[in-house]
Structure 1
Amino acid sequence: MIGKVGTGKSFRGVLHYLFEGRWQESKELQKQELEKKLVEVIAYNQCFGSRLELVREFIEVAKLNPNQSKPVFHFSLSFAHSDAGKLGLQDKIDIVEKLAEKFDFKDHQYVVVAHQDTQHAHLHIVANRIGFDGKTASDSNSYKHIAEFARKTELEYKLEQVLSPNKFLKPEQRIAQSQRIDNRKEALKKHLGLAIKQSTDVQQVKKYMEQRGYEVEVGRGIAFTDAQHVRFKGSQVGFALMDIEKKLKQEQLLRQQEQNRQAQLLKQQQDELKKQQEPENEQVHRYTQRIGR
């Protein structure tokens, strides 16, 4: 399970994203974006209603502490392919309640939204950091706390285990994790090498890697996430996007050279066979002439 946490200023913005998707240029595109996200609200706490009603409710309570410029807590919990079917609705609600207790907002307003718009099922939790008493839930060391929470939840619910960032681990754990990361890097490099040899462009490389369980992001650069949700930039394994494009051209040139070599070899064999057949044809011609006399 991958857990992420952030704080923000706008309840309106984050709730629009969760319920409607990213802002689109037209109503039709916005409708398509909404249909793609497959939004389902699975829990409310100290709040209820439509997106706009929730925004108003959150803002009213946030006014109890006007000095806090970032009253929004936004969490996401993503589950691996292999975790499909392991968690029921109540399990997910229980996990969120434990998260709320961990981050000290169990008595605050929060809403839990399930999305199915990516390859991995995931939950979003939007919480008001401001409680009804005007006090603010702390966001100190939130990245470390969400990593600890994810590892504990994986063990408790027998979910696929994911590596935590090195900076949150003890020294002995860092050594063991580094070895695992090195193995993952070597496996990624091996797959990429094979992908390049069998491809003519970056999109074919992307398809090859996806068929082997990697998620591939292609933009100004390239990145790969393996089945255990460990993400590497291409540059981390010696395969930046520019390197891949260069290697593809080199492989294409080598393939062309090999095709030319094979064509020349075939022509030489054909010429040799033709030379061998010429004496036989000459003998047959002479024999035919003698019989004709």
Structure 2
Amino acid sequence: MIAKNIKGKSFKGCVQYVMNETAELLEAEGVWADTTKNMIRSFAMQRSGRKEIKQPVGHIPISFAPEDKERMTNDFMIQLAKEYMQEMGIKDTQYIIIRHHNTDNEHLHIVYNRINNNLKLISVNNDYKRNVKTCKKLKDKYNLTYGKGKDRVKREKLNNPDRVKYLLYDVIKAILPHCTSEKEFQGYLQSKGVNVEFKRRRTTGEIEGISFSYDNVSFKGSQIDRKFSYGNLQKSFKENIELLQQQASREPQREMPAPKGQQPIENKPKIRSIGGVKLTPEQWQTLEEGGFIHLEDINKSDGKGKFSSYIFLNDEKDKAFSCKDNPNGFIKYGKYEMRIRDKILIENGYVTKAKVKWYGIGTFAYPYLWKENKEDIKYKESWGEPRITKIEKENKQEKQSLSQQPIRKRPRPKIG
């Protein structure tokens, strides 16, 4: 059972929305319910007694888990709706209860007048916390199914503040396994427009809490998920550090495999021509800055004919690749929608800092993606740089070699 509390300005828009072609009116109190028009007129008449109230409309959608579908008779849904309103302090006012039959999840809508029968305003202070408490109470009372996690919630149907809450949940869940410190964690979130604030004790200045905000909506970490409280985040950072240490002790680090499959057009430290076409300084600068160019009359590798193509470089800027489409165009590949250029690099065995569309946040993320073997179906992912330089590798091997050498004992000096 999940409920949301929404305030609005127009009874007309709200009533017309809930009274769609799949609507079934279960109960009405204090309104003429013979037509949608008369429902709207009834709410408007009582609302006219407090014209200074800007948001007189109360709208509560309540949905139930698929596991409870067989129990959701009309009478039971009316009972749940009335008890919910009673617990939320919604009483002595006009309301309608409507059941919808347009989704797999059984759900209903309550539309009520926040201006009650005595022309007093029904308060919605702390309605978010009261809503959570009330839903839990009813689920426990009637043994209703608890949700099986936030991953199954349909994000596209959410409005604020729930939209931001689940957006933050998705972002934090994705990056947390790859963070080992507050600074790293905070820096990534802030790069995505998510503000992170720490609550400190007045006496000692010690951090005791954390909150996140996006699109002018804020949540404490524990409100998003218990795993995201400040204390639990610290535990996660420590576990991630320990995991990395364990991995390093079990197997030596290694460089990523050499590219496989399609060969790059050029393989030079400084690419000055591609397929017989000499690059201008401006073209080379565009490529070196991560852009792309379009070349005509490129010689084919077999010497039979010419072709035109977009050209871009890999991350190391030492190899060029051709592409018939705009390499910065997006294509669905695996779990992400990424640039065409990133897909090409992954399929050729390169590690690339890909630009991917980030669901729900309206912007982009930049994970490192690669395949260890060309035939692999899935690519690997890391939010930190996975590559190790040759110097780092040599230093590590040198340390390992020194640690494995036996310690030679000095002969004791003779006395006398």
TM-score, with length taken from structure 2: 0.39
Q: Greater share of helix residues, 1 or 2?
A: 1
Q: For residues 196-275 of structure 1, what are the structure 2 equivalents within 5 Å?
A: 202=332, 221-222=358-359, 254-255=374-375
Change (3 A) 1:203 1:83: farther
Distance 2:133 2:221 in 1: 8
Distance 1:79 1:85 in 2: 11
Match of 1:135, SS?
Answer: coil
Change (3 A) 1:176 1:158: farther
- Give the corresponding residue for 1:107: 92
Match of 1:125, SS?
Answer: strand
Match of 2:109, SS?
Answer: strand
Distance 1:51 1:147 in 2: 31
- 2:220 maps to 1:83: no
Change (3 A) 1:255 1:50: farther
| Contact 2:49-2:119 within 8 A present in 1 as well | yes
Once the two structures are superposed, what CA deviation does each residue of 1:100-149 show, in whole Å capped at 9, x if it has no partner? 21232322111111113223111111100011211011010111111111
Once the two structures are superposed, what CA deviation does each residue of 1:231-281 show, in whole Å capped at 9, x if it has no partner? xx8x9xxxx97669x85xx56x92399xxxxxxxxxxxxxxxxxxxxxxxx
Match of 2:5, SS?
Answer: strand
Equivalent AA in structure 1 for residue 35 of structure 2: S
Q: For residues 35-184 of structure 1, what are the structure 2 equivalents within 5 Å?
A: 38-47=22-31, 48-162=33-147, 174=226
Instruction: For residue 11 of structure 1, report the CA deviation from its aligned partner.
Output: 0.5
Determine what percentage of the aligned residue pairs are the same residue.
23
Q: Which runs of 5+ in 2 are unaligned?
A: 151-164, 166-218, 237-330, 337-356, 378-416
TM-score, with length taken from structure 1: 0.54
Q: Greater share of strand residues, 1 or 2?
A: 2
Distance 1:141 1:168 in 2: 18
Match of 1:132, SS?
Answer: coil
Q: Which runs of 5+ in 1 are unaligned?
A: 21-33, 183-200, 207-219, 224-232, 258-293
Distance 2:334 2:109 in 1: 33
Q: Cα RMSD over matched residues? A: 3.8
Distance 1:126 1:17 in 2: 11
Distance 1:82 1:116 in 2: 16
| Contact 2:72-2:106 within 8 A present in 1 as well | no
Instruction: For residue 86 of structure 1, report the CA deviation from its aligned partner.
Output: 2.2
- 2:128 maps to 1:8: no
Mean Cα deviation higher: 54-63 or 87-96: 87-96
Match of 2:97, SS?
Answer: strand
| Contact 1:46-1:107 within 8 A present in 2 as well | no
Distance 1:168 1:256 in 2: 37
Match of 1:70, SS?
Answer: coil
- Give the corresponding residue for 1:287: none
Comparing both chains, which one has the higher relative contact order based on Cα–Cα distances under 8 Å and sequence gaps of 6 or more?
1
